[in-house]
Amino acid sequence: MKTTFKLQGIASVLIIGLLGNSPAGAISIADTPLFIGATVDPNVMLLVDTSGSMNNIIWASGFDNTVLYTDWSDSNNNFNAASGNNRLNAIDRYHNSSYNCGSNGRWVRGNNGGNTNFLCVPDPVGGKETRYSGNYLNYLFSTYANDTDLTSGLIPNDYRMQVARTAAKDLIAQTTGVRFGTSSFFGPSSNNYGHGATIDAVCGSNNTTLNNAIDGYTASTNTPLSEALYEVTRYFRGLSSFYHSNVNYTSPIQYRCQHNFSVVITDGLPTRDTNFATNDPDDPSGKLPDWDGLSPPTTNNINQIYPQYSDGFQPSGSEGNEGYSLYLDDIAKFGYETDFKTSGADIAGGSYQDPNFPTQSMETYTIGFAQNNQMLQDAAGYGNGLYFTANDASELSTALKNAIDTPNSRDRLQRLL
């Protein structure tokens, strides 16, 4: 293993205190008056949501999703005010002799109190594939006058998937000392929804490989969040894939003192997220997917307010409904409590069962992109990580950097003790 130096006496006490109380990014190894040797770079697997909702437009800064704006949907069902995923190709409306308007925009219609208004809204995805929250459309109709061209810069002209791709690549380009990998939801051509995850670039891949994988991400599946994180645990453990045929993983864990992290970036609650292995080698009692054994009563509601550690409102509804199953926290807990290396030695010859390094596991950080819910908080808590929220490009970039900076700093400090 690479050489490190231990801190002694009072210095150790001070560092322990800093580690427990400082916010993300507040501690820099360069600030310590000590010579620090080479360290083991942590593994960080990005898990990027590639569900269809990632084609949603980025919201204007004045929009507050906790406020219910005046309803401009009408009996002709121009759009569903309660839906977060109104497809522009289903709600654009003929106006002024055309469906098209502005710079790559589409007309949408609203009706309130007998007043019919049209707005020219951006279509950054193209092909009328951009999605709009019904409440966001109500905000736009309540804010702007009839026939306003919103493609002229009055509101953001970007969408979540593109922002996530850019932020992830910027993070990789600006961060050193981390062995990045990236993964996404698995959407086989035989299904119109995803199951589990695809490891698109293994931890330690070069930037070109990582960027090429991220550039290929499109918003095209449902949201199998828990299944996807479960597949990431199989990757770290060096098992075979549960969701792909004839795929076997090589664990990226190189050293017994190496830390491993997953960073989950998602904009919604799970759908079609109930398919898990019943013979996992680290689950002899068959507890998965309900690893914590907690299933508080949960009702289906449009406000997405669920009790702590909820497993969703199943069996009510169907697995295609958002919130039907909520196991992300359970899988994060499983990943943190499971020893990924129960035998053998690391590449320096050190035993994985050395009592000074008893467990090689995974910590989970979560980022809610235009999303704030209990499930993501629970997953970060169980996974010994942190939970962040973001609503636009700047906030997502900051959240990603904080999510990486915190485990990276923690990892380096822990190895000094």
Mean pLDDT score, 96-114: 92
Which range among 30-34, 269-273, 395-399 shows the weakest confidence by mean pLDDT?
30-34
Residue 384 lies in a domain: yes
Mean pLDDT score, 74-92: 87
Question: Residue 160's pLDDT is what?
Answer: 95
Are residues 324 and 243 located together in one domain of the fold?
yes
* Rounded Cα gap, residues 158 and 138, in angstroms: 19
* pLDDT at residue 17 greater than cutoff 50: no
Could you report the per-residue pLDDT of 113-154, keeping only the tens digit for each? Answer: 889 999 999 999 999 999 999 999 999 999 999 999 999 999
Question: Residue 370's pLDDT is what?
Answer: 86
Amino acid, single-letter form, for residue 346: D
* Rounded Cα gap, residues 141 and 73, in angstroms: 10
Cis before 33? omega within 30: no
Are residues 83 and 178 located together in one domain of the fold?
no
Are residues 130 and 208 located together in one domain of the fold?
no
Question: Residue 204's pLDDT is what?
Answer: 97
Question: Residue 28's pLDDT is what?
Answer: 27
Could you report the per-residue pLDDT of 337-346, keeping only the tens digit for each? Answer: 999 999 999 9
Instruction: Find the DSSP H helices in 151-245.
Output: 160-174, 207-215, 225-237
Greater confidence, 370 or 287? 287
Strands 197-201, 115-122: parallel, antiparallel or unpaired by DSSP? unpaired
Residue 20 lies in a domain: no
Are residues 165 and 135 located together in one domain of the fold?
no
Q: What is the pTM of this model?
A: 0.87
* pLDDT at residue 218 greater than cutoff 70: yes
% of the chain exceeding 90 in pLDDT: 69
As beta bridge partners, residue 201 has 182
* Rounded Cα gap, residues 232 and 272, in angstroms: 17
Residue 3 lies in a domain: no
- Token representation of residue 385: 């990580």
CATH at residue 340: 3.40.50.410
Residue 376 lies in a domain: yes
3-state secondary structure of 265: strand
* Rounded Cα gap, residues 175 and 189, in angstroms: 35
Of 137, 152, 167, which residue constitutes the final position of a domain?
Answer: 152
Query: Token match 């092909």: residue?
Result: 127
Are residues 384 and 289 located together in one domain of the fold?
yes
- Token representation of residue 45: 């697997």
Residue 15 lies in a domain: no
Of 95, 122, 152, which residue constitutes the final position of a domain?
Answer: 152
Contact predicate 120/106, CB 8 Å = yes
Range from 185-199, 275-289, 403-417 that averages highest in pLDDT: 275-289
Measure CA of the first residue to CA of the last residue in the chain; give whole Å.
Answer: 16
Are residues 63 and 47 located together in one domain of the fold?
no
Question: Residue 32's pLDDT is what?
Answer: 28
Length of the chain: 417
Question: Residue 24's pLDDT is what?
Answer: 34
Are residues 119 and 44 located together in one domain of the fold?
no
* pLDDT at residue 5 greater than cutoff 60: no
Are residues 290 and 369 located together in one domain of the fold?
yes
Are residues 351 and 373 located together in one domain of the fold?
yes
* pLDDT at residue 8 greater than cutoff 50: no
Residue 338 lies in a domain: yes
Residue 11 lies in a domain: no
Are residues 173 and 66 located together in one domain of the fold?
no
Are residues 238 and 384 located together in one domain of the fold?
yes
Residue 5 lies in a domain: no
DSSP assignment string, 51-72: BGGGGBBPPPTT--TTS-PPP-
Contact predicate 187/221, CB 8 Å = yes
pLDDT bucket at 13, cuts 50 / 70 / 90:
very low
Question: Residue 91's pLDDT is what?
Answer: 93
* Rounded Cα gap, residues 94 and 275, in angstroms: 43
Residue 65's domain comprises 57-152
* Rounded Cα gap, residues 198 and 122, in angstroms: 31
Are residues 292 and 324 located together in one domain of the fold?
yes
Q: How many domains does the chain have?
A: 2
Amino acid, single-letter form, for residue 88: L
Measuring CA to CA, how many Å separate 52 from each of 18, 221, 263, 414?
Answer: 42, 6, 20, 39
Question: Residue 302's pLDDT is what?
Answer: 63
Of 131, 152, 173, which residue constitutes the final position of a domain?
Answer: 152
- Tell me what the pLDDT averaged over the chain comes to: 85
Could you report the per-residue pLDDT of 345-391, keeping only the tens digit for each? Answer: 999 999 998 888 878 999 999 999 888 889 999 999 999 999 999 98
